[in-house]
Structure 1
Amino acid sequence: MKYAYPVTLLCLLLCFSCRPKKTPAKTDAAAVRELPPELHTDLYGNWVGDFISISGEEPDYEDVARINIRLTRITAEGVEGRSVVKGNDRPMKGALTVTGNKYAFVMDEPGSDRHDGRFEFFIMGDTLKGRWKAYKATEVKNPVKEFTLVKKPFRYNANLMLPEDWEYVDYENGRMQTELYTNEDGTVDTSINKVYRAASEEVYKLNGSASELTEKQLKNLKKLDLEIIRNTIFARHGYSFKSKGVRQFFDQVDWYVPVTNNIDGALTGMEQKNVALLQRFEKYAQDNYDSFGR
């Protein structure tokens, strides 16, 4: 019995030595080193400007939206980015060709949405210029767009306001109004005119991101006033609006950069409270319609 322990110990040592050795897990640092190096990072960021429909070969300036082409990763293996326009936030991938100081890109959206397509553009200096073509040209109203963009940083700023020298008229949602008028000879004729609703000066005075709004401030406002004040809160967070009726008030604002179609969790507590109050007043507010020149 006195030899049992050495024999047992020898068997255990042999068993452990025969076990297959585990390959040590790669460290995060090693995994990072295996990624291809990023190139031309100075091109990263938001490239923002007008997304203009092409009718035939001519630009259709009645159909314009603000687009953001955001470049997020460039390597020798390819390019990644996103397109944000008209409430759509789509990933895209492609390739880059560099010739001198010209960077030419071909970028494809996934194709799972009927509004997806191919972007072909180039960057020279501080300008990005190109065209987009829909994959499903027969399923969209305007299958070809062109754009000339400049780089714009996005920073949330609660104090951003709409320009004071603009005319805030809802030209996208006019309606026909019939009016009767009496001629000099006493006969009565009918006049049919298109009329629109207009906002008051309160849209560039009340800030729902910087201070808590009160019922007293809102109770006499027009419905359009309330809508614009509420949507300005969303615009400060870079929300991309789908409705042209809303986009008409923000697409030409210099500070507005559409970066996302989802701002869940982005609003401050005060902004959430103000949005709820504005929506409550919108339900019962009215608008005055009048004739305006464009």
Structure 2
Amino acid sequence: MKLPKLCLLIVITLFVGCKNKSAKSDKIAKIDSSTISISPDLIGSYVGPFGKNRITLLITKVTGDSVAGRTVVGGNDRPFVGTVKKDSGIIKVEAKEPGDDKNDGMFNLSFDEKNKNILVGDWKPFVENKNSGAKNFTLNRKVFVYSKDVGIYPQASQRELKESDVNNLTKWELEVMRNEIFARHGYCFKKKNIRETLETQDWYVPNTVDVKDMLTDVEKKNVELIKKYEKYSDEYGDEYGR
């Protein structure tokens, strides 16, 4: 009879041990879950004024207390990494750019979970110079979506253009038509007049400086056609159908 009692005691011990281990595992799982719960709220793109320019700030990854992303300002695409923490519903980010560019600096960002569409913060350059000073900003969440139906000349992304679509346009109109193709893919322009023209459009969300692999076959053909007429416009001006 002693053997069954011993076996019963072993079974009870193992059951209690497993139960405690399970409870401990559940507790650990909850801690991990709360740590990564920041990620879905914070990840995204935010757009708004940044000094004399506009900035697109993209938060692309949040892992534990680490954050990574990039910014696009005036045609410059810069990565950043930093730390993130949450306190009483406020998410705070401290992030640094690499420092290998004279205009690199540090971001301090704040994100209220009650208003998930607004990101406020400041940026300070590592080295003060006449072209870059400290900036305060408020950015709005804006999702990039490729669409063929936006812009002044949406047909340039919708179908293959004919000569009749372009032969009576001015050089500036041709330039806008061609660059709208790139803008629909989120291209950030260095050329100031094009950048400022497109930044007034609600649909435009600059988020990259390389779209060559994103253009459709139709768009590639249209870019070449428009460029040909831009060249003719330079050579012949008003004599060429204008």
Length-normalised TM-score, structure 1? 0.63
TM-aligned CA deviation for residue 98 of structure 1: 2.0
The SS at the match of 1:47 is strand
- Residues 127-276 of structure 1 correspond to what in structure 2 (within 5 A)? 127-138=118-129, 140-161=130-151, 204-205=152-153, 207-276=155-224
**In 2: Cα distance, 1:160 partner to 1:243 partner:** 21
TM-aligned CA deviation for residue 137 of structure 1: 1.6
Match of 1:38 among 36, 39, 47: 36
**In 2: Cα distance, 1:101 partner to 1:206 partner:** 42
The SS at the match of 2:155 is coil
1:67 and 2:55 aligned: yes
| Residue correspondences, number | 200
TM-aligned CA deviation for residue 122 of structure 1: 0.7
Match of 2:66 among 78, 100, 105: 78
The answer to whether the 8 Å contact 1:118/1:134 transfers is yes
Letter in 1 for 2:36: E
1:105 equivalent in structure 2: 93
Letter in 2 for 1:121: L
TM-aligned CA deviation for residue 145 of structure 1: 2.5
TM-aligned CA deviation for residue 211 of structure 1: 1.5
Structure (1/2) with the larger helix percentage: 2
Residue deviations 1:220-244 (CA, integer Å, cap 9, x gap): 2111000101111111000011121
Q: What is the Cα-based RMSD across aligned positions, in Å?
A: 2.1
**In 2: Cα distance, 1:147 partner to 1:47 partner:** 11
The SS at the match of 2:137 is strand
Structure (1/2) with the larger strand percentage: 1
Letter in 1 for 2:38: H
Residues 88 and 145 (structure 1), Cα distance of their counterparts in 2 relative to 1, 3 Å cut: same
Runs of 4+ in 1 over 4 A off after TM superposition: none
Segments of structure 2 that go 5 or more residues without pairing to the other structure are 1-31
TM-aligned CA deviation for residue 148 of structure 1: 1.1
2:5 equivalent in structure 1: none
The SS at the match of 1:284 is helix
Letter in 2 for 1:130: G
Residue deviations 1:40-81 (CA, integer Å, cap 9, x gap): 122111111221x2xxxxxxxxx2x22111112223342111
**In 2: Cα distance, 1:130 partner to 1:79 partner:** 15
Letter in 1 for 2:48: G
The structure that has the greater radius of gyration is 1
TM-aligned CA deviation for residue 205 of structure 1: 4.5
Residue deviations 1:82-104 (CA, integer Å, cap 9, x gap): 11221122111111232212212
The SS at the match of 2:219 is helix
Segments of structure 1 that go 5 or more residues without pairing to the other structure are 1-34, 54-62, 162-203, 289-294
Letter in 2 for 1:280: K
**Once the two structures are aligned, what percentage of the paired residues are identical?**
38
**In 1: Cα distance, 2:45 partner to 2:213 partner:** 22
Letter in 1 for 2:213: G
**In 1: Cα distance, 2:190 partner to 2:153 partner:** 25
Letter in 2 for 1:131: D
The answer to whether the 8 Å contact 1:122/1:129 transfers is yes
Residue deviations 1:172-220 (CA, integer Å, cap 9, x gap): xxxxxxxxxxxxxxxxxxxxxxxxxxxxxxxx24621012112222112
